[in-house]
Amino acid sequence: MKKASSESKELSIVDIDRIIEMAWEDRTPFEAILFQFGLAESDVIALMRKNLKRSSFNLWRKRVNSGVSQKHLSKRSADITRFKCALQRNITLNKISKRR
């Protein structure tokens, strides 16, 4: 298990993988990650920085900051009713798997 939060919350590899998956998905807001895992946006950024390659992290940050992403509830018109889109790709051990 690895420490990922300033609160020293222990996260399993599966939890880290799921957080990365949620953070990578543009439609999943940071508030959903906070609700489900207790990690604030700054904690998610630190986790992504630690677990992704530098180039992947930079691409993600650029996309999240560009305004295209809807990573904040204030940018969304609808409420969160679920945490995962049915069409969302699964990421296993930080590798995007192919859709079937």
* Residue 75, pLDDT score: 55
Share of the chain above pLDDT 70, in %: 57
Query: 91: which residues sit within 8 A by CB, 6+ positions away?
Result: 17, 20, 21, 24, 97
User: Can you give the residue ranges of every domain in the chain?
Assistant: 9-76+83-88
CA distances (Å), 3 to each of 8, 18, 39, 50, in order? Answer: 6, 15, 11, 11
For the entire predicted model, the pTM comes to 0.63
Q: Is pLDDT above 80 for 82?
A: no
Q: Which position has the higher pLDDT, 44 or 87?
A: 44
**Tens digit of each residue's pLDDT (9 = 90 or more) over 36-80:** 999 999 999 999 999 999 999 999 998 888 765 566 666 555 555
